[in-house]
Amino acid sequence: MKESLITVIVTLVLSFTAQGQTPEEQFYSHLAHMSSEIKTLKGSFTQTKEFGALDVKVVSKGTFRYARNNEMRFDYTVPRVMSIVVNGNTVQIISGEKTTTYSWKGQKNAMAGIARIMNHCMKGQLHDLRTGYDLDYQNTGKNHKVTVRHLKDDPEDVFESIELLFNGDRYALEEMVICERSGYVTTYVFSGLTVELVR
């Protein structure tokens, strides 16, 4: 009963706040609220990397986990075992006995760009990326789509755009498409989400 009352109050507050906001502003506001209630999030992912000119497609699978104010990690299980861990401002790539660690701040490679955007995304702070990126929001009716591009064209930047597809009701990230300058397109599809809320 107590939780139901809290849900009603939160819904009313959000509906009053939404009045006078554009659909884009409503999306970022709701995303920030929903994300603020997440303590941990885990599930599975399928990654498909393709290069159109060569008609090459590589599929990888694994699990991911996000812990608020702690870390975000991708544990690959197919076709090979490896992990990518984002913790604070660092990215660790763990493969067998070897661990490579580097700061993603100031880096212009694809991994750093993805880590930066995913970090803001999971915290519900996607709108804060506007200082360095152009964010194009669309409501497809079923989903919310945000396309992220660099504000300034720099040949050293690896990716051209990152497309984020959120569930229309739960605001959960369901798909991420990374288009690199090299012609590679990497698609992540997330499924089997399990959420632990902040109490």
Q: What is the predicted pLDDT for the residue at 4?
A: 47
Q: What is the pLDDT of residues 104-132, one digit of tens each?
A: 776 666 677 788 888 888 888 999 999 88
Q: Give strand pairing partners of 83.
A: 75, 94
Cα dihedral value 35, 43, 166, 147, nearest 10:
100
Which alpha helices (H) appear in the chain, and where do they start and end?
2-18, 23-36, 110-122
Amino acid at 196: E
Domain with 138 in it: what CATH number?
A: 2.50.20.10
Task: Report yes or no: 54 and 69 within 8 Å, Cβ to Cβ.
Answer: no
Give burial (CB, 10 Å; 0-12/13-18/19+) of 28. buried
Which pairing describes strands 71-78 and 56-67: parallel, antiparallel, or unpaired? antiparallel
Q: Select from 172, 175, 167 the least CA-distant residue to 141.
A: 167
Q: What is the predicted pLDDT for the residue at 106?
A: 67
Q: What is the predicted pLDDT for the residue at 19?
A: 57
For residues 107 and 83, what is the distance between their CA atoms, to the nearest angstrom? 20
Per the structure, how many domains does the chain have? 1
Which positions of the chain have pLDDT values less than 70?
1-20, 106-110
Q: What is the pLDDT of residues 136-162, one digit of tens each?
A: 999 998 999 999 998 888 777 788 899
Domain that holds residue 84: 2-197
Residues near 3 by Cβ (< 8 Å), separated by ≥ 6? none
End-to-end CA distance of the chain: 15
